Structure 1
């Protein structure tokens, strides 16, 4: 390997995957990883667009790796995975192929330009903590295996990040926020199933016309955010409605010859939750410690009531005014911010985010609604 001030030149093996995507395998000095690759941490720009895909640095984890590397002659075979710009240059080696070569890969020389931080030619898809530790280790020359695929598409990079980390303890909320930003072509079925709830959660949080506008906590929130509802609660509420054959959103799911109608789903959610906000104005937008309507239990339970109300209306009169009228039936019997749930025999703030309490609250709301409808 030859290291220059403006480029790194290495011996590499080249192959293609995924319909012509160039993939390279090579070794570089551990300290060179952060010279050629940026670590793109997940955040949103001033226009609220999602940038990056990496988890925040975990200092204790990095320190542990540094301590290990500084022990001396250590084994470090774990590969760093990079997404690289098409600006890298590969020149195949000349000469005849070895006898028995299957032709899966081709040897050659890979030249990787070195740019300033923030504008580097590669991004770390897997190995963020390892890369930071290698840069801090005493022995910066330890040979580190690298797998690099060539793509300047942030969407492809996010897909690979999700897939690589799927088997690791990657935060569910981080996956949820990334999923709407990918095309899903390479994602497993179970992740594709999570895309629409995550996309709807994003729409509800970003649209100024949404009752949830900026109220949903995302991993990219700034410290000054006024969000009070966890995205997990909203996504669970949406997923439950989609999975219920009689759910308010199930009608708009994808069919064999028809794509899912996300716009119609958003309209249903916006109408219902706008009515919820206006029927319970004193409970809306407050900290869950002050309002159980904003609590995960309240969001999930009201989602079940949403399905029941829409099932009763069955496609007729599903406008905001009608939904609000239906919700007003149960309003006097709810204790979101004070008092007691008479049907449950518990105080308003005794409802907790447990499966048992959520189920009890769901049943109480549905029973109360059914009783009021009969009357």
Structure 2
């Protein structure tokens, strides 16, 4: 009879014994509840009922994981945890072989209940269960797996709560800060580097204004913006899919056969207009990106100095909602320039250029002091500034 044999070792802890090993992703998909998305309410849901938590698959998360799996440097170094019946397993202690056997009808499906990792497993399909290794050969994607055998429902619930309910969400600003350590080019790394540069720019619009790790820097007051907010909004001017761009540059860095597996997307004219700093990014002209951002916000600081002043507690312009609105305005201006004239990776608008465009003469900065610092105010700020733009000439009107 066919079986699945994995190399493993037995672990003894206060909760009991379990097995840790490595398994091919294709085999793990076969033995776990592969139709979890269509599972009926009553089928194999005793764990959910016991702990009082429903665990539906979130399709957006599955899609994100599927894209991650297809990346150049994807990895899952943490273990997927499953529970199985002793009816379907044998432990060969001498050879350290954990042997999985099918049901009497030879069926391997639904042998293992997923305690942790259902989204990771759902992210695998026939297109990403193998990858091209550094030698240019096709390799099986392997996963770490932890198996509890004959664990009762109480034990399963204990494991689930331990690995799922006590997790601390990672600060997004820290994630972007770690991008600076990457050796290959990526949109996130570029945006992070620009955030750091502008935060240090003497007398610049962002000087000592950005919280590097999402928390206040000691001895610096009124850091009104997070690094995550800056990076996420600048990314919208550069890329439609930061991970896709990152995969391309990382594959290019690695070279060999894998470098031909990834291509830069959205490089047609309409896309380069929609993402107005994309051509500068592709051309590796990060200084152009930084200069345009710095000059635009310097013009904002020049036109509305009190509203942009980071010490102004009642202004909405100097806060995250203002930043979001202003990056939208910058995107509109640069997209217009690309469409009206030409797409130029080296184009830098000066502070005076931006000032003339922003100053339609009708917007008093006191208007920014009269808005509540809530998310819906961002759209109001955007509309106010756009209504004041001196951008379109008679030919465009």
TM-score > 0.5 by shorter chain: no
Superposition TM-score, scaled by structure 2 size = 0.42
Please, what TM-score do these two structures have when normalized by structure 1?
0.45
